[in-house]
Every structure is written in structure tokens, then in C-alpha cells.
Amino acid sequence: MRKEQFIKKFTKAVQDSNAAVFAGAGTSVDAGFVNWKKLVKPFADEIDLDIDKESDLVGLTQYYINSKMGNRGSVNQEIVYQFSSQEAETKVTNLLTRLPISTYWTTNYDNVIENGLKKNNRRGDIKRKIDDLAISIRDSDAIVYKMHGDVDSPNDAVISKDDYERYSDKNSLFVTALRGDLVSKTFLFVGFGFEDPNLESILGKVNVLLGDNKREHYCIQKQVLERDYDADIEGYNYAKIKQDLKIKDLQRYGIETVLVDDYSEISDLIQKIEEEYLKNTIFISGSISDYNENWSEEKVNQYCYDLSSFLISKDYKIISGFGLGIGSSVINGALDQIYKTKYRHVAEHLGLFPFPQNANGEKSLKERWTENREQMISESGVCIFIFGNKLVDGKVELASGMMEEFQIAKEKGKIIIPIASTGFAAKEIFDEMKQSGEYSYLDNYWETLETEKDFTKVFSTIDKIVNEVDNGNQNIYFVPF
């Protein structure tokens, strides 16, 4: 599958709250953890097997336990030794847990996913064993299913033939839960080689039950490249044939493969999904205290009401700081449209960040306002600037808060759309952007944004600009927040 197509489709699953992640050992390597082959190498060495000649690592581990008369104490100790870091994190996992995904599955024993959720201020409900499935953590943001156990309970970790053979009996509820998620959610498999017998069995049963009605899932894998084989053409050709066959085989389960040339590209892909997701959220920056013959109070209120109503009708989410003179109308327009067409799902379509008015605590009011602006813009992909004036000692000035929001939006690489026809700070921002020559996505729309008086045409232009960026017609580079 083409990367662009994958980004669009998986982003849609995230937006629809239908996305899930399955993280394999590859997602934890950057945290310093070993892969399965390196984990069991000491066992192979002790029973005089060459790890490089072995492909059945489950069987190898079983041979080692057999050699110890069934005692797996050394295996448990190795799991603890290799995976006990409590602070480990990776870029890929931090990006995946920053997305508003509520379901994570993993065969890893480490705490990388949990750490990613904490880093992103999200509370995880961790399911390490069967008993955990019957308990729900209050106010959790995501469920993490550790289907092969956890470093804190190494004796329950799934690692040997015995463990796999007993899995469907001992952990049948995990099997049932995963089957249900594979039916109802769109999975992204990352860092996973699809050699795990449990997952293959579960995928096979879902395939039999659903036939041609399977949900589409995705996996990211590194492409077999000739440069990685040091002139071993025969080895390269063999690996390439096998990868192509594996990709076709995964399609039996509805899993489409996205190939990357280097593992570092995986974080870039996840970053693009986040950017695509955020483009559906629009921050409306604006304020007005002084009206004029072009913009009466009544006209300003109607403009703001119609703008937010239009954006909601186009399935955008609006974020507002309740700007002076425009906040109520923006909120009213959004709420009326939400109540009319969105089943009253207010939180899904409207985010409010009112500015605190008292400097309680250690931080000044100005610091709190800046934090508020940072948060609003971080959660948005698009920033619209309208109006922007304030009265200071009876004199009209440009809204300094709007100018600060513009600077933050620039630093974070957001799509910025200044409606210069509304005047004041919005016009100032427009002039700076146009003169810079750095905003090519507005090249066809400068005149409309500056002179168009028809509300409907301006609003349609906003939608067109965002959609063109979405379709890849413009090059917008986002900076991670």
C-alpha cells in the first residue's frame, strides 16, 4: 500500500475512534531492549545450539527449560534482567500513545507503552493477566493488553512451547478480546514480524469466520534492500521473494503492508498521521472591542456564528479560547450545528479553553495565558485569525494576544489562515505572511482572504485551503509539539 493512502485511511480510523495498535518487539528496540533472538541467545549457548541457525525460538526456549528439568527460573531471571527498566521510552511509542487511540495490544514484556501514555498525560488501564480483564480503571484513556505477560510477573510470561500450547486454555479471555477487536477495530501492527503462533491462530480463526468481510488492517515493515546484503545477491533475492510472499499472505487476513526503506521512517509515518489528524481541528483566534462602519457588533456576531456553524457542518472540530467579543458567537454557532446534526456530541466537535482571570499559585497571569495558548494551538492543525483589536486606556490597539498566538502557530508549523478582510491584527498577520513568501498554500487565495465580503465564499475558501493541503497539493511541514 502506498504511504499516502495508508496515512489517509488510518487517520480516518483514528478520527472515527476505531483505531487500535499492536506493538511488537521492534517498537522497544530503541529503548535499549533486546529482541526475542537476543533474549534467548544465552539459552541457546548453554545447550550448545547456534542461535543463528535456529528459527524456532519458542522451541529453543522449551529445550532449555527441559534441560533444567522443567525449572524456568533462569528464563524468568533473564526476562527481569533484560526488561526491568521502568523509565524506558521510544519515539515511535511516544507518537503512537499521543494519538487519541484507546486500544493497544502488545506481546512485549516491557513498560514502554505505559511510559508513553504517562508522558502524554494519559491514564492507561493495563491488562497483564486474566483477572485484570474483570476490573476497569476509572478515568482511563486507553486499555493496554499485554497478552504475553509483563516483566513484573515473569513466571506468567509466554515464552516456551508449553506456554503457547496452554495459551488458549489459560488465557482464553485474551483470545476472545483480541478476536473482538480485530473484528471491530482497524489495527496498525508495528515492530511485529508475524511469526507469533498465538496471533497467527487468532487471525486465522477471524479469517474463517468473516471470509471476505474482514476489516482492513495495516502493518509497517522494512523493505528488503540489496544494499543490506553486502553483495550477497543470492541472499537478497531469496529474502525479497520471501517478503513478497509474506505480504500476499497477510492480505488473507485483511492486513495491508506499508514498506519503508529504513526503520527511522516509521516515526515519520506516525508523525504524518498525527499531522493529518490534527488538520481536522481548527483553532479560531480572534477578539474585538472596537467596532466600525464596516464591522458593526451585529455583523461581527453573525460572522462568527456563521463561521463556526459552517466548520462544524464540514466535520471540523473547533477550538476556542472564548476570545473577547467573538467567543459567545463562535460557541453558539458551533453548538447549534452540533445539536442539529451531530447527535449532541459536543466534546467531539468543540473544545473550549477559557483564559483564567486570577493569578493564583506560583505562575503569573501572563504565564498562564501563554500556556493556554500553547495548549490550544498544540491540539489544532489549522489556525484561523479574525479581527483582533482591544481598547487600552480608551485607545484602539492591535490584540497582542492574537499576535502571540500567531507566533506560536508559526513555531509549531500549523496551517495559518488570516482573514485580512476582517481587519486589525488579522490584517497585520496577513501582510507579514504574504510578504514572507513562505506560505505557498495561500498563493491562489491571497486576494479572496483580503477583499472578499461574501461570508459564504470566505468560509468555502477556508475549507478549500485545508483540503488542498490534505490532498498533498501543498508542502506543509509540521514541527512536533
Dig out the grid coordinates for 162 from the structure: 508449553
Say how far apart CA 145 and CA 167 lie, in whole Å.
15
Identify whether 217 is a catalytic site residue: no
Which of the residues 148, 217, 345, 349 is marked catalytic?
148
Closest by CA position to 250, among listed 301, 170, 187: 187
Cell reading at 368: 498562564
Q: What residue type is 265 in one-letter code?
A: E
What residues does 143 pair with on adjacent strands?
A: 103, 125
Sheet containing 124-127: order of strands:
124-127, 142-146, 103-106, 19-23, 186-190, 217-222, 255-260
CB of 280 closer than 8 Å to CB of 289? no
The β-bridge partners of 285 are: 385
Return the biggest CA–CA distance within the chain: 91
DSSP lists the bridge partners of residue 396 as 391
Q: Are 295 and 422 in contact (CB under 8 A)?
A: yes
Residues annotated as catalytic (active site), given as ranges: 148
